[in-house]
Structure 1
C-alpha cells in the first residue's frame, strides 16, 4: 500500500513538473492574447496612427492581433487602394503559431482617411507612411517583418531598399520587381491562353478606353480573374475578398495601376517602375513567393530570391495571385517556416 501511495505521489510530481516545464518553455503562447499592458486594449487592438504628409496630417487604420515580442508582421495590402481584408485568412493560421500580425489600411484605403489628392499617391510617400507606422507600433529590427502582396510587394521592396536596417525579415508575395516585365508576361504568356474571342473583346474595349462598360469587368472577372487572381468560381470566392473589392478606392487604383490587373494600362504612375538592378543590395532575410497560375511570372519570383543576398523561394503549385486562398496550406507552411527560421536564427537561403 505504501509503495502504491509512493508511486502515485511520484507520478503526480512528474506530471506537475512537466506541466510547469511546458509553461516555462512557451511564455509567448501563454501571453499571446494578453493586451493588458497595451494602450489599445480598450479598442481591441485597433490603433489610428497619424501620418504626416506634404499635404497635412491624416490617420491610417491598424489592428494588431496577438502579442509576440520577436515576430511582428505588418501586412501591406495590394491594389493600390484595396484593403487589409485580403489577409483575413491569416486569422486561421498565425494565432496558432503565436505570430503577431498587424492589419493595416494604407492612406486612401477603406478604414483610413481618404484625401482626394493624387499627389499623395507616390511610392516615396507610401514608404515614409510605412516608416511612420513602424515607429508608432514600436517595432524595430529585433522583431519587424513586412509582408507585401501585389502592389504591397512593390511597397515592401521600396521600403526595404531604403529602410532595411529597421527590418528583421521581408516577404515579397506575388509581385515582380519590374512592371515592364510584368506587362510582357501578361501580354505574351497569359493573354494567349485566353479564349481568342474573349481576348479580342477585352482588347477592343481597352483600345476604346471603354473601362466603365459593365461587360469589361464581367469578362475580366469571369475569364481572367478566376484563372489568375483566385482560382475558384466567382460564387465560391471568400466573402472577405468580395468585400475587399467592394471597398476599393478606384481613384488610387486607377491613378497608380490603371483599370485592370490585365497589365498596367494607360498613364498609370507605376507603368515604368523597375527595381531589378537594386535588389542585390538587400541583405535582410527575404522570402519571395510565386505561384504557377499567378499574374506574375513565378520564374521571376524565383530570380528575386536568388538576386537578394539572403533569399528563399516559396513556390505554390496550385496557387494564383491570391495564393493565400487557393494554395493555402503551401503558402502558410512556407511562410510560417520562414518566420520561425529567421526568429530562431536558423534561416538558410535557397
Structure 2
C-alpha cells in the first residue's frame, strides 16, 4: 500500500498502469489521470473493477481523500472541499508530475472543479462524472426522495440531509436501502457483487451537514479554460442532468454527454459507454 504525507495527513494513493510504453519503436507517454471518489466519505475502491481497462490507455492515480478509505483519519474541521482540493495539488507535486488529467465523480467532481478554479494551469483536462456545481442539487434530491422514496428510504435520507449518521454501520445501511436510487443496475437486480468497504461517516456528516449546503462554484467555472468532459446519468436522482448541464453552460471548452440508461453510478450502469467517452476525450485532447 502506498501513502504520502500530504498537508499534515497520511493519504493513500494507488497507481494502475505504466506511464510510458513502447509503440512502433517509439516511447509513448501516457496521460496521467488522478481519480477522485465521491461521498464525502467514499473510497477509490468504488471505481474498481469498472475502470481497470482504462489503465491500457492512461496511468491512473487513485486517491482516498483524508479520513476516507485507506487514508488516515483527521480532525473533522479539516474535512472540507478546499482542503480536499489542496491535497490533490500537494500530491501532484509530491509525485513530481506536471500537467495531469483530473477525474471526479459526484462529490469528487466538486473537488475537481474547486481544484480547476485554483490550479487549472496544472491541468491537461478535466473529467466530471455525475456531479453538481452548487448546493442547489440538494433540494432537487430531497424532492425526488419525497416523491419516490419508501418510508425507510425517507428515514435514511433525512439522516443524510442532516449529516447525522452515528456509525459506519448506519451509513452502510443507508447505502443498502438507497442502492436502487444510485444505480439502475442495482434497481434491476443486475448489479455486480461488491466487497464490504469502509463508509466514512464523519467526512460525510461534515459535508452534508455543513459546507455542501452553501458551496457554489458556478460563477468561478466561467473562468476555467481547461478542456472538460461532463457525463451525466439520465435517471440520476442526486446530481441530476440539469446540474451537469449547468456545468456545461458555465465551462467554455466543455463537452456534455448523457448516458440514457444510467443513474448516479454511470460507470457501473453503462461501463462500456462511460469508458468509451473517456477514451475518446483523451484521444482528442492528449
Q: Where on the TM-score scale, by shorter chain, does this alignment land: which range? A: 0.7 to 0.9
**CA spacing shift, 1:230–1:269, aligned 2, 3 Å:** farther
* Paired residues for 1:36-185 under 5 Å: 46-52=1-7, 57-68=8-19, 69-96=29-56, 98-115=57-74, 117-141=75-99, 144-179=100-135, 181-185=136-140
**CA spacing shift, 1:135–1:273, aligned 2, 3 Å:** same
Query: Is 1:279 aligned with 2:221?
Result: yes
Give the superposition deviation at 1:209. Answer: 9.2
Is the radius of gyration larger for structure 1 or structure 2?
1
Q: CA RMSD in A?
A: 2.9
**CA spacing shift, 1:194–1:73, aligned 2, 3 Å:** same
CA distance in 2, matches of 1:148, 1:334: 15
Query: TM-score, with normalisation over the residues of structure 2?
Result: 0.85
**CA spacing shift, 1:293–1:204, aligned 2, 3 Å:** closer
Match of 1:225 in 2: 179
**CA spacing shift, 1:145–1:292, aligned 2, 3 Å:** same
* Paired residues for 1:235-250 under 5 Å: 237-240=191-194, 242-243=195-196, 246-250=197-201
Match of 2:241 in 1: 298
| Contact 1:78 1:150 (8 Å CA) reproduced | yes
CA distance in 2, matches of 1:207, 1:48: 32
* Paired residues for 1:304-315 under 5 Å: 304-315=247-258
Query: TM-score, with normalisation over the residues of structure 1?
Result: 0.70
| Unmatched runs of 5 consecutive residues or more in structure 2 | 20-28
CA distance in 1, matches of 2:161, 2:10: 38
Give the superposition deviation at 1:303. Answer: 2.8
Matched length: 275
**CA spacing shift, 1:219–1:61, aligned 2, 3 Å:** closer
Give the superposition deviation at 1:280. Answer: 0.6
Tell me the secondary structure at the aligned position of residue 281 of structure 2: helix
| Unmatched runs of 5 consecutive residues or more in structure 1 | 1-45, 258-266, 344-350
Give the superposition deviation at 1:276. Answer: 1.1
